[in-house]
Every structure is written in C-alpha cells, then in structure tokens.
A and B are shown apart, each in its own frame.
Chain A
C-alpha cells in the first residue's frame, strides 16, 4: 500500500480509464476496477516509477496533440504511397541505421513506434540511441534520406521539448 500511496496519481488515472471504458457505477464494477488498478500500480513499481517519482518525463497535452496530428498525417500520406507500391510490386527492403540525437528512453520508444506505424518503415532494433530501420526506398542515397526524414518528422518535436 505504501507504493500506491506515493503514486496515487497513476492509480487515479487508471481508475478514470476503467470507468470510461466500463461505464458502469455498480459496486461490483467499482471493486473489480479497484483491485485491478491496485495490481497494475503495484506491478508498475520499478518500471514506471520508483521512490523518486515517475521515471519518465511525460509529454504535455499540447505536445501530445501536435504529435498525434503529425503522426496521423504521416500515416495517411505514406499509406497511399504504399498502395501504389503494392500495385507496382515495387518493394525491395533494405536496412538503414539512424543515429538519434535524443537520449531520453521514452522519446526513443515513441520515435521508434512512430517509425513502425508509418507504412514503409519498420524499427528492427534499438541500441542506445541508434535505431536499425527497415525501409523500402530504393534510391541511391537512401540511408541519408531516411535519416533526414526521421529526424525532420519526429525527432524535431522531442528536441524542441528538450
């Protein structure tokens, strides 16, 4: 209970999500949600938070909205180009290595998730701040181009945030 008292914020957020998803105010629902949220909060110790508080610097609301907007636009833009690739059967993947400037593990995770979500690129491995990416472009200077694209689209947002 000590950990939960220290991290009541996570517990409250989990409870809000529970009620938003179940939309029932019955006693049994409340008890089930309460027990599950306590288990999740306990299990998150050491992963999400420790004695000092949260381990990660979470994105602000404005930054999150900006990030999701950029992500949505990128996903739809590249999915259309991917459909043309399927029609033309133009798909020769190759591996590129991207060295990121950010060192925050959460930022690296979000960037690699965004790369995987965008059609045509897939993060295979992460080693420190170096990402191994599978991509589809088949031009001469592909690795440089992929590097530039990832840095301009996603990394910029996290560098600005600091």
Chain B
C-alpha cells in the first residue's frame, strides 16, 4: 500500500517537472526544475521499490543506488549552471516575455 502511494507521488513530481520545464522560459529556472524534480522523483520511486521488496538483498542494492543518485545527480546540474553563468547568460533575461 505504501509503495503505491509513493509511486503515485513520484508520478505527480514527474508531471509537475514536465509542466515546469515548459512553463518557465529562463534557462536557470528550467535547470532548477528539471534537475530537482528528477532527483526527487527518482528518489521516491526507489524508496517505493524498497518498501515493495521489504528487507531483502534487492533492497540493499536499491539503497546503494539511492545513495549513488543523491551523490552524483547534483553534479550534472551544477556543471550546466556553472557553464551558463560563466558564459554570461543573464539571470534576469526572460525570453518568453
């Protein structure tokens, strides 16, 4: 039961992440949305799977993958944001406005 609720929450995150990417026009806002919502959704899916498997060997692997995602996922968004910032892309510029 818990894992179904968690999976549902992760779908909500993914849907709002997609909506956010299309709604915002600034590169930094899009980055903030895509990287964070992705991480939260992936984490929720993995936690849901851990609940589904219970205390088993498979859960240990999932916990390791979860820790790996937490450690590595900020790096990609950091690199993209840093290159955008260093290339002088204005933070106030709203393309759609």
Interface residues, chain A, with chain B CB atoms under 8 Å away: 17, 20-21, 23, 68, 71-72, 75-76, 79, 82-83, 86-87, 89, 91-95, 112-113, 116-125, 132, 134, 136
Contact = CB atoms under 8 A, between A and B. Distances in A.
Contacts of A83: 12-13, 16
A23 B29 CA distance: 41
B36 A82 contact: yes
Contact of B40 (A17, A68, A76, A93): A76
A-B complex: 5 closest residue pairs judged by Cβ atoms:
A116-B74, A119-B36, A86-B20, A91-B29, A93-B28
Contact of A120 (B36, B61, B86): B36
A120 to B, nearest CB: 7
Contacts of A93: 26, 28-29, 32, 91
Contacts of A117: 36, 39, 70, 73-74
B74 A119 contact: no
B91 A75 contact: no
A39 B43 CA distance: 30
A89 B33 CA distance: 12
Given A76-B40, A119-B37, A134-B32, A21 B64 contact: yes
